[in-house]
Amino acid sequence: MEAQKPNPTQPAKANAKNNSGSNVAGIKNAFLVILACFVVAVCLFIFWFGHESHFEEGHPIDLWGTIYKGGFIVPILQTLFLTVIVLSVERWIALSSAKGKGSIEKFVAGVKKCLAANNIQGAKDLCKNQKGSVAAVVAAALVSYEEMDKNTVLTKEQKIANLQKTVEEATALEMPALQQNLPIVATLTTLGTLVGLLGTVMGMIKSFQALAASGAPDSTELSTGISEALINTAFGIATGAFAVISYNFYTNKIDNLTYAIDEIGYSIVQTFTATH
């Protein structure tokens, strides 16, 4: 009977099965967030902005009534704005859990120190205390490190390749969860501005229709059109600006986490290479 050949990818696959889920908490279905924000926006538009206390003889007497005069585009823009806020808060919570309990810099330095002293168990203990995405990747790499250390069948090059693959697979497992919902925020940077521009154009059309009316222009229609144009412009700019700030802020945080993962993964591989 022919002896079974060792499979150099088997340990890495085993590690991937043991780590079948990401450590990042977050909202998986953003559609439900958008739907909930739409319901809130419509309720605000009808029951608060459109309340009779904000009008006198059909004319707005405060800011809320003026917002109501912005027309049906307002609740759409409010939905986009609320969605950006909710997803930004969600990303803050998710990336905080991904970071772990302590400082990433101190954690990376501690793991490097343990690796230099060949204290694998100490590095594992640091991962248990730190938690989060970086710690999850390091923990998976350390498990593979010990497996390759005890393996007497594979060559050194195969062991290093397995170790590198484990780090890559663990990183690939965490990255989608880190970037989740950010494409939606990126889309809202443009969509909010475009919807606001649409509302502006519709408001200006109403204004020009009032000016083009026979006889004296209808001041009520004219002011309504201008209000719709300016309110929608304001909401569109606010939505786009907040979405840009949020997207760039969280992208930078993800880049820092990714850099820490790459740094510690490289250190683990180099330590194994130097000591075996």
Comparison of pLDDT for 4 and 262, the residue scoring more: 262
Q: What is the mean pLDDT of residues 188-203?
A: 90
- CB proximity list for 213: less than 8 A, separation 6 or greater: 221
Query: pLDDT > 70: what percent of the chain?
Result: 86
Comparison of pLDDT for 67 and 275, the residue scoring more: 67
- The pLDDT assigned to 32 comes to 92
List the chain domain ranges.
29-275
Q: What is the dihedral of CA 22, 19, 171, 161, to 10 degrees?
A: -170
Q: What is the mean pLDDT of residues 28-53?
A: 93
Work out the pLDDT band at 60, boundaries 50, 70, 90. confident
Work out the pLDDT band at 221, boundaries 50, 70, 90. low
Kindly list the distances between the CA atom of residue 179 and the CA atoms of 38, 106, 157, 192, 236, in Å, as whole numbers in the listed order.
24, 24, 33, 21, 24
- The pLDDT assigned to 67 comes to 87
- The pLDDT assigned to 40 comes to 96
Is pLDDT at 22 greater than 70 in this prediction? no
Is pLDDT at 7 greater than 60 in this prediction? no
Work out the pLDDT band at 92, boundaries 50, 70, 90. very high
Name the residue among 119, 155, 98 with its Cα closest to residue 276: 155
Is pLDDT at 41 greater than 90 in this prediction? yes
Is pLDDT at 266 greater than 80 in this prediction? yes
- The pLDDT assigned to 14 comes to 41
Is residue 137 a contact partner of residue 264, using CB atoms and an 8 Å limit?
yes
Query: pLDDT > 90: what percent of the chain?
Result: 31
pTM for the model stands at: 0.81
Q: What is the mean pLDDT of residues 203-223?
A: 70
Q: What rounded mean pLDDT belongs to the chain? A: 84
Is pLDDT at 273 greater than 80 in this prediction? yes
